[in-house]
Structure 1
Amino acid sequence: MYIKSIVLDGFKSYAQRTEIQEFDPFFNAITGLNGSGKSNILDSICFLLGITSMSQVRASNLQDLVYKNGQAGVTKATVSITFDNSDKKASPLGFESSDEISVTRQVVIGGRNKYLINGVNVTSTRVQDLFCSIGLNINNPHFLIMQGQITKVLNMKPPEILAMIEEAAGTRLYESKKLAVQKTIAKKEAKLKEINRVLDETITPTLRKLREERSAYLEYQRLTGTVENLSRLSIAYEFTLAEEAQVSSAEVLKKMQAAVKELQGSMAENEKKQTEIEEEITKMKKERDNEVSGVLHSLEEAFAEIQRVNTKAESALNLKKQNLKSEEAKRKELVKNMEEDFKAFLLKKEEVKKIQNELNALQEASEKDASALAAAQLNAVSAGSSTSGDGEEGTLSKQMMTCKIEISQAATEAEQVQMKLRYAQQELETKESEVKNMDGEYKKDKETFEAVRKTKEEIENQMKNLNYDEKKEAAFLAKKKALTNDIRRLKELCEGFMAKFPYLWFEYKHPEKNWNPNNVKGLVAFSITVKDPSKAKSLEAVAGGKLYNIIVDTEVTGQKVLKNGELKHRYTIIPLNKILARCVNKEKIKLAQTLVGSDNLHLPLSLIQYESELKKAMEYVFGTTLICDSMESSKKITFDKRIMTRSVTLDGDIFDPQGTLHGGSASSQAASVLAELPEIKAIKTELETKKSELCSVEDELERLKNVAVKYQQLKQQWEMNCEQAELLEMKLQQSAYHKHEEELLALKKTIAECEETLKKIEEKRQEAKNKYSLLENKMKNAESECKKALKNAKMQLEDAKKKAEDSGQKMREKQQELEALLLELKELEKEHTSYKHQIEAADNAIKHYQEQVNAMEAEVSKTKECVERSKEELGKKKELIMSQHKEIKAKSAEIVKCREQNNVLQLNIKELEHNIKKHQQRAADAAATVTRMLKENKWIASEKHLFGQPNTAYDFKKNNPKEAHQKLQKMQEAKQKFTKFIEINLFFSLHQYNELLKKKRIVENDKIKILSAIEELDRRKIKTLHQAWEKVNKDFSSIFSLLLPGAKAMLTPTKTQNILDGLEFRVALGNTWKENLTELSGGQRSLVALSLILAMLLFNPAPIYILDEVDAALDLSHTQNIGQMLYTHFRQSQFIVVSLKDGMFSNANVLFKTKFVDGVSTISRHVSLQNK
């Protein structure tokens, strides 16, 4: 059997159907450039033979076998081979009657494999069996020799070479089968051991026990008979019930279905009532919302404003009352303090009179002592004058006297200032203690003032952060009004154009969420800009109806817009990814320019501007037409046989190559869409801009509205806090604590001045003391005579001086005391006067506050009345709205009630539907039970008429089925207990036991026979292997000598000299035997491997051999020798050889040459000259 022809369709590089006819029965060669599809022919043969390893055909999966993986429109690969089967001796089993056998294999992308033999669908196993029966096992392809197989043979070790011999001799299959049998024997051996164990341990003892329990077995048989009778009764009763249930369920189903219809009617009525109530509620809500948004809102605003004014007035009144109380308390305190100070003043006045009298007496005594001192000083001076000759002593005495006077005056001044300081310090302590007592209330008012001031500052900051300007809102309102007028005007213009050109207005609804508007490019008309308005009419004629087509990015977008876009007109969609653009041929354009002149011919695409992404769409609309200046030019171009292209004149007249003409004067006078399009675009652009601005303005107004409410609230709070802060500040300034603070500051200032004066007086006194000491030293240096003369005078002077000083000191003390009292009197008089002024001021303040309180009380009374009236109006309006709300609520409750009723009805319907399904299922189950029972119990059909009949075995009245069922269960339990102790069927068990023993003996005998057969087959295997080795060795030597003249080769056993240990190559070049193959050249080693492979093939010839570039590593002479060798040794087989060398395919009878043309493989057949 050999290949006659091959048909390839869609297989690998053979995209189109390719037939390779008239294969030579003996030697065929295939050649061609690399990548032209030579090896793909061999792959197709392997594919058809049913190969499972895709790597053998250079593919990763079946889809790779289809031309370009199905990307080029070819979705299946088909290979058909016709075999010549005229030699009936070599015919496959079952096909002896067929002279030709046609086998087809087809693979479809995403589908399944399909095999056909002689046009009949068969399985892959059937195809493999066919080829295996003639020695073409594709999954162990000894008939397929690839280039890499030669290298593989060269690298084989002795056991692997032996395996090749075994494969050729067929003993390899025996070895694999033997191993499988040995594994099976081992498994069976284990099973036999298990069977022996079960027999010995379980079955034999059980059978022995069964024989002993025969009586129990007889009882069991009796129970079995009774159980059978009761079981029949129970089954009959169950069958009768099932039939009755089947009948009764149909009636119940009818009733339930009627009830469902009735409930559904009630639901429909409820839904209708619900809809009516919902409409009433909508109407009532609308009325209520109008009331709330209008009247109620204004009443609430008015109430809030009146309440704010009232709160402000009450707050101011409370503050004024607090101020009034404070002033009254202050006046009371002042009156009390004035009376106490007046009493102290009278006491001090009496004391002053007393001290004045004492001072007068001391003054008289002091004057006398002063006179005596003056006389003594005069004596002393006289004495000094009499003793001094130059008058210096008298001068020093005067100076010392002056110093003493200055020191005395300084001491007096210091004493007076000290008294004033002590008084001021005492007053300061007194005032500070008084202030401490008053500190709590003042601090509280001060903290309140600070808190109010801080709150006021925070409100100011919040108002600044709002960035609100009352003028800004007015400006935005004016802008909104202007924009609204502009939009209305532009819409009117658009509507005018819409009436004029209705198809220019394309509007659609977004078909889905997250829709990208950029996917829809819009109308063709709006996607272009005409460069020259004078060409607008002609361009419009060129585009025609396509001017109103819609451009989209993909066909998917177009489908979505058409399906869900809610279009108002019918539109044609242009998807950019699918549209096929066509343009006038450049040669035709050049020819047309030659005919009419380039100035008279225009390309429409050159007269418009558009986005680059829309190029394909524009070419589709404008690309197939030319524009001419005149009708004559258009006529020439259109009807010229070399051009024959549609043209349009500037006036819009259309010339068509088919002989039609469109246009005329009426057409030229009609309004041009493209001419007016710029104005329409400008209006639309302006309209969109204005709409966008209006949205921004409305957003800003909404924001300002929200901010304005907040700003007014903050402003109101700020005003109240400002007024409260002013009142608190006034209260703090007019408080007694504040005045005492001012007095404390004055006293502290007086104390500081007194301390400064004391410091200056002390400096002056110290200066006088220093001068006095200096003068005194000078006096000590006077003449001793003077001293003696003055001694007596000085003693007198000292005595007089002492008396004068004593009286003067007493007088000064009294004088100082008097001055202090007078100072106190003066201060008391001042305080009395101050108290009078303060009381007078307090009276004025009290009067003023009282007047303000009276006025404010009247104002608060009025505002309260306004608040009450506003509150009453607001309450009435709220009651009205509340009543409306209650009505709405009542209506809503009715809806809820309807819904609840519907829910209940729905539940009832579902329950009924569930019951219907349940009864349907029950009826079906009953029918299934009847059918099942009839099938399982054949006796029912014959005895059915007896079920329930009296005086029969199935009399349900006489034999209560329930009691029978209970009795049956008890007897089955009793029967079950017996089954635990005895075998049910003793004879059957004994039979099984005997059969098991018989099979065991058969298995054991079979094992002995198999082992004996294995030994015999092993001997035959060794004999066959020796024969195969000798035959292969002989052919190997012969083929190698033919391929490489003068050389010898053989296969010899390894060093053990046992062929079963492996075989190795021995090669001789001339008479020299090489130790190993490494001493040979690469080509010689390839010839050794090729010779062995061919010798193997010769041992067990296949009908077909496939060689794929086995001569790749050989030179031309060796290649020529291969061709001659094939002629010599292989006369009974067909060879298909792929080669690039002339020496190989020159020996072929038929040569097939492959070429790769336009991405597809082609093949041509050539018959060699020698064959001719």
Structure 2
Amino acid sequence: MFIKNIIISGFRSYREQSFPDGLSPRTNVIVGKNGSGKSNFFAAVQFVLSERFSNLSAAERKELFHVGSGRPSLSIFVEIVFDNSDGRLVIPGRAEEVEVRIRRTVGLKQDEFRVNDRKFSSNEVHQLLESAGFSSSNPYYIVEQGKITYLVSMSEAERYQIIKDIAGTKVYEARRDESKRILEETELKQEQINHSISQLEEKLRELEKETAELKEFQDAEHEKKCLEYCIFNLELENAKEGLMKLENEWTSKKTTLSKNQESESLAEQEIQTCEEQLAEIGRLITRLEAERVSIEKEISALNTKQTVVELDANDGANSLYRADKEYEALLKENSDLDNALAKARNNALQKRQMFKKSETIAIESLAEVDRMQKLVDRMQEKRNRNKLFKSQAERDRWIAKEISKNKEIIDNARSELQSVEKEIISLDEAIKVRKNTKDTSHSVEKVEKDLAIREDKITDALRKRNELNLKRRQLWQVVHEQENVSKQLEESLERTRQQIERNISYEIRQGLQSLQEVLKEMDPNIRKSVHGPLIDLITVEDGFNTAVEIIAGNALFNVVVDTFDIGAMVLEKMNKSRKPGRISFFPLDICKGVKKNIPETPECSSILSKISFDDRFSRVVTEVFGRAAVVVSLEAGLKFVKELSCDVITLDGDQLGRKGAITGGFIDKRNMKLPVYAKEKNLAVALSEARKKLDNLCQEVASVEQTITEVLNELELLRAQNVSIERRADEEFREARQREEHILRLSSQKETLLLTKRTLERNIQESLEMNDRLLEESKDKFKINWTDEEELELEKLSEELASMKIKSASMQAQPVHLATEAQLMEDTVQHMERRKVMIGNRIREIGWSKRTTHGLDRERDSLKHESTLLNDRLSAIKKSIDTSTRRKQEVQKKMESLSLNRLSAALSLQEKEDLIDKTQVQRNLLLQRREEALNKLRKLGVVPKGSEKYAKFSLGKLMHHLKGVNDRLKKCSHVNRKAIDQHTALQQSSNELLLQRNSLEEELKSIYDLINHLDMKKDEAIERTYKQIQYQFEEVFKELVGSEDTYAELQLVRSSSDKDEDPYCAARIRVSFGMGTIVSELEQLSGGQKSLVALTFIFAIQRCDPAPFYLFDEIDAALDAEYRTAVANMIQKQSEECQFIIATFKTEFLSRAEKVLGIFFHNKVSRIQTISMEEGIKMLKQVALADRKRGRDVEHHDQISNG
């Protein structure tokens, strides 16, 4: 199910709007300028689906109408078209609809819903939507502007209310309120019935008071009065005597009880100490076990790494041994090769010189042979031409033709010669460039030096890494110990605070808490005028806590303020805020502080002298304690209370009032407030210092870890630099070899070209000579016959030529032989040079491999050292665990013994307490009898005449006479004849009312049971919803942050009292973003992190109660870039299952949108249309540019205003 189309007509800034090509069932992103109508678009959707626009006044309806040019519309409507192919929306009577159209139309006096053209009421539409997954208790499928900010700034109580709403507690609360209303009506009926019963009982008592005749009644009454006076007086004397006797017994038993109580208290303290020791030992063993497991894992990983390094080191050692052998052989071969290469170069040079010399001779000889050959050839050609041509003209034509051919040959040869010369020049320049190229290769010594320097740095880095790892491990041990100390202090402080809560009444604690909340909202000057409760402002000497606490009572928690007006202002603020609890004030301006003059003696002293306080509060402290004295015993108290006419109190808390009242008895010292309050202060200070120390240690650990990371980075960098240097050196050496080989190739090409050049020059010269000869021959006279002289000359020249050829042939063989030998020698030199280069490279490689092997050795030694440290620490931990286990067993045995002793002492103490209680009951009974006797005597008034005759009668005889008098008085009851009938009728009415009252009591019980059942169901719903949201909150947070070591917790805070209807009162969020960050409260995060947590909370709610589509309006406004990307990825992933319509000013969502919609605003009319992603990005850039320009304009305007 998803939204296919939204049709808007006349709603706010939209005159007519629809989406002809429909909306994407996955992700739709809307972009546009501020004020273009994005919020109005979301409001249009809420106008149909949300209860936000459910109850509209006429003015509110008018504000929804579009205001623009043209004729105003009389009604507006918004229609949402759903794709219902999954059948999620079930319309009554039309369940198979694949498309559902929900339209809401509003006029000035009209507001109606239509579903597929059928009229529906608002409630029916909301029920239809709720059946499809749009829960009214979870409105977070639409997230408006500012919703993220609201979630960030909301209180923990409001966050808890959201969880309650999602759990559907409103239904339970509505039924509970209805039950309470019925309960109040029933209780009112019960009260009326009780009132009627009391009236009937009163009338019955009046009827029973009618007696016999008046005279007989007066005589019997007078005698009765005399008897009663004697009986009451005798009872009074007996009560006084019994009181004196019980007082002595009670004092003795109380002294014994105090001693036993102190013994039990000491045993209790020892047991508590043992429990704390057991808890501490347990935490220590747990920490040591965790550290043992961690170290064992480290040792296992280290052993694995050590095995790998050991194998590599062994392989390296074997390789090093072979490399050393090869290194020595290569050095020897290199030395021998140097000698052989020098000798071979010398021999090759000599052989090349011999070749050049022999070649010069051979060339000269060959040139002479060639000259003679040409002369012979010319003469033969001349002889042949004389035979060939018939006339001189024919000969001259042939000569001219030959001269032309030769010129053409000369021109071609010269052109080719120029090309060859250019190539030779180019080769010379290339050879010169190669020879003049700067040698950029590092020398072997420089490379070795650089590598050695970095190896030293690597060694230092490894040593520093090991030292830092050891330091970090030691710091973690200290941190764990400090955490143990902090945990122990927290538990002690929590136990102390729980004891304070037990010792102090709930109303007082709630009042003090409400005071602190109100003071945070008031003016700082007022806060300075409120000094806190009296118990925080005084310090009591040891041994006098009981006396001070009994004297002050709840006045210890009265708040001291400067003036009465300050107290009235604070109280008024609390009442206006409806803060719970009870609070009382001590205004300093109206406290008189009257002090009683009490002499300081060993038996008596002023209790004020045992209290330390600031002089500013002297009047308040004097007002409370200035009229009381502390004495050593009740006997001394009886003495001083009469002498000083003031209240006195013993150290055990027995108080004697100046008017004669005696109060006291057994006081449980464990319920005293002053010692516990002082202990709570000391523990809070100690815990604060412990946490501060723990924070400092954690910061130090973080600093060490940062340094370790830097050292590891430096180590990796140095190793990478070594590899880079070696690689660069190899490349430079290879380039040098390639350059030399290239020069050799170029030189060979040059030699070939020089040979070609000489050949071309010789050919040109021969052609020129041929032309000269032909020109000379053309000048000679044409002879048909060859002369004998010429023939003889030709023969002579031929003989000389043959002789010269034989001689030249022998000369030509010697240079060829020498050239072959020289070439062989030069090839040998080149082979030796290549071998020398190979040997040098191999020697350098062996040197680098040695350095790698040495690095492995260092790594192996480092791992061995670290393994030794870890094993030593593991042994120490195991020893500590064994010691702690034995210590735990000893403490457990001691605690068992103490528990048995405490049980025995408690039984004994209970027996003594029971005896004291019985004595106290008897004492109270005697006091009651004494008071009753006194009251009866007072009621009798003056002593009746004639009572003296009964003065010596015993109590039994007096009672016998009194019985007789009473019998006589009973005889007077027959005077009223109708009394019995009246009594019977009234009694029957009373019984009927009693039956009605019993029936109402059963109804009340049923109502209370129903309320309890509803409370239980509501609590179960809250717990279930909370667990789901908490789980999804953790999963979504991990997915958004992108780290597995994150921490996210949504914690419910329990109510401070069981009287609250809800077991919880708030929902607290605590998160950690991983990478060593601490766990933080929501208030401690940055703005972007808070927004991410708020979005995490929204996504968790949505996953617990999913909707078919979601509308988000600028939810990424306050997010950081990395978190916007994470949120966009999550939405893209979830869009496979539901639809998203998102408005944004950021580009992250655009890249993941299936459809991009742009909002344009012109002439007060908004228009939405589909645009490309590039257009959307361009629009967002324009918006950002406009926002920056607007910000600069505002800043400039502010500067002008301030200037």
TM-score by length of 2: 0.28
TM-score of the pair, normalised by structure 1:
0.29
